Amino acid sequence: MSTLETADPPLLEAAHLSRVAGGVRVVDDVTVRVRRREVLAVVGPSGSGKSSFLRLLNRLDEPTSGTVYLEGRDYRLIPPRELRRRVGMVTQTAFLFPGTIGDNLRVGPRHRGQELSEETIAFLLEKVGLGGRAGSDVRHLSGGEAQRVSVARALANDPAVLLLDEPTSALDEAATRDVETLIRRIVGDQKLACLLVTHDQAQAGRLAGRVMVLAAGKLERIGATDEVPHAEDRLH
Amino acid sequence: MLKTVFTDQVALGSVQAALAVAVTLAVMLLARARAIHLERDIVVAVVRGIAQILAVGSVLLLLLRGPRWTGVFLLVGMTIAAATTSARRARGVPGAFRVSLTSIGLGAGSVIALMTWAGVIDTAITALVPIGSMIVANAMNTNSLALNRFRSEVESHVGLIETALALGAGAKETVSPYVRAACEASLIPAIDSLRSLGIVWIPGLMTGMLLSGSEPIYAAIYQFVMIALIFSASGLTALTSTLLIRTYAFSPAEQLTLRPGPAAGG
């Protein structure tokens, strides 16, 4: 176990998390802890359960056994809407709601009866490099811009944990670097705990302090990024 | 021409049915010539249709001699059969049978009960059962359309729905546009029937009343009454069905359970 893992109390802890779907054990007894300001990369070959594991963390899917603790509290005791506000998620495809960028940022807070101020919207957009674009129609955004809106929209909920499911896999190299810079900055600024699913070992190295390798739903290895040098070999 | 040859009604009906089947088979062959293979479906539907309608005719014959309330049992049986058919059509939709039974039962049942109480529908079995069955059948079609449309809308918008859930939206809010779309789409046939009544089609009931010697104006008004009742029952069915189905589409922890298949991805 790395020293990083024991330094602070974990913000998020998956405890013996398993999920069986369609008779297949897609996540198999995974235990892992993530601290504030930490990026943990989740790598593994296609079908290894990376996305399935992430979906269990904000309870988009129900674990068959095991649970998750958010700041020490069993997440089954937290109302799902509150849990999902605190454990934000950005998916591979940026599913944006029709309307403007500002409209998209307002969605999360509005669901809990709060109206995001224009100043907050401007601040969030500045943070993701889209300053002054609140009124832009989302239909006219590039892939990278859409993904930035997706990140800003998750941040508008003021989450404690950010789940990133291959956020750059649909982007070109320049847009990927932009989004990576953004991730690095917001994790530090917002004191977030972040889990990043990626198939790109180099990206894991650039962004994450630790990496966990999943294979057939099982946690095969976890450690500091430079201590798991051969995870790349297992990806394909 | 046939009536001059066949004086016995059963014989006349059999020949008429044979001619109708011949036309159906001709359509089937035309379709086949264009490589559209409906043979199995059409043959099964024709055989089932004849068997079912003869069975109903026989049951009606028996019921005519029984007390009036037996018609209610027949309509309840029809509602259960309608719910089963509708649920089969909506395969993969969680709770489809329960939703269908409740929606058709409430939509068709309440309109039939109210209108029978008000005297719009006669309590005689010969009136209550055929008219009730028309209302139940249309409610069934509406329910099937509503469930099917809801399923396809949800399945094509899984990403947006789960994005909204992940942002802390309530389950029901995330599907409300698709509930509206399903409800509106399912009512299109009922609205069109009402709108085109008398212009595009003269329904069977009016035809029957005219054939049996009713006053044409009364037959026309009564036909309008029936189509309006069918629309009301269909509307209630669609509203109930789409209201209930949003509950069944999610788990208690507000997870989308109505999905095209297991979640893809690594």
Cβ neighbour number for residue A8 with a 10 Å cutoff: 12
- Tell me if A45 and B266 make a contact (CB, 8 A cut-off): yes
CB contact at 8 A, B157 and B259: no
In the block, which residue shows the tokens 């809106």? A149
| C-alpha span between A47 and A52 (Å, rounded) | 9
Cβ neighbour number for residue A227 with a 10 Å cutoff: 11
| C-alpha span between B52 and A27 (Å, rounded) | 50
CB contact at 8 A, A62 and A78: no
Task: Please tell me whether the interface predicted TM-score (ipTM) of this complex is above 0.90.
Answer: no
List, for residues A167-215, the tens digit of each pLDDT value. Answer: 888 777 887 888 888 888 888 888 899 999 998 888 888 899 999 999 9
Structural domains counted in chain A: 1
- For residue A18, give its domain range: 3-222
In a domain, A234, yes or no: no
Which of B166, B256, B266 minimises the CB distance to A51?
B266
Q: What is the CATH number of the domain that holds A54?
A: 3.40.50.300
CB contact at 8 A, B154 and B161: yes
Q: Which residue of B has its CA nearest to A27?
A: B266
Domain ranges of chain B: 1-65, 68-266
Which of B159, B164, B264 minimises the CB distance to A107?
B164
Tokens of B126: 């010969």
More confident call, B57 vs A52: A52
In a domain, A231, yes or no: no
SS3 of residue B175 by DSSP: helix
Tokens of B96: 């489809």
In a domain, A36, yes or no: yes
- Tell me if B266 and A157 make a contact (CB, 8 A cut-off): no
Residues of A in contact with B166 (CB under 8 A): 58, 60, 84, 88-89, 91, 154
| C-alpha span between A217 and B111 (Å, rounded) | 54
CB contact at 8 A, B150 and B178: yes
In a domain, A196, yes or no: yes
List, for residues A62-75, the tens digit of each pLDDT value. Answer: 999 999 999 999 99
More confident call, B7 vs B151: B151
In a domain, A144, yes or no: yes
In a domain, A229, yes or no: no
| C-alpha span between B137 and B39 (Å, rounded) | 25
Tokens of A235: 């990806």
List, for residues B95-118, the tens digit of each pLDDT value. Answer: 999 999 999 999 999 999 999 998
In the block, which residue shows the tokens 């929606």? B103
List, for residues A86-112, the tens digit of each pLDDT value. Answer: 999 999 889 999 999 999 999 999 988
Q: Show the DSSP H helices in chain A as ranges.
A: 3-7, 50-57, 80-86, 101-111, 118-127, 143-155, 173-189, 201-207, 231-234
| Mean pLDDT across chain A | 88
DSSP A96: P
Complete edge-to-edge strand list for the sheet that includes strand A218-224: A73-74, A65-70, A12-21, A24-34, A218-224, A210-215, A39-43, A193-197, A161-165, A87-90
Given this model, what pLDDT does residue A230 score?
52
Given this model, what pLDDT does residue A5 score?
47
In a domain, A116, yes or no: yes
Residues above pLDDT 70, as percent of chain A = 94
- Chain B CB within 8 Å of residue A85 CB: yes
Tokens of A212: 């966990």
| Mean pLDDT across chain B | 86
At residue B146, does pLDDT exceed 60? yes
Interface test with chain A among B154, B158, B163, by most A beta carbons within 10 Å: B163
List, for residues B48-101, the tens digit of each pLDDT value. Answer: 888 988 887 887 777 777 777 788 888 999 999 999 999 988 877 889 999 999
Residues A68-98 as b/e (b if ≥16 CB within 10 A, e otherwise) read bbbbeeebeebebbebbbbbbbbbbbbbbee
In a domain, A233, yes or no: no
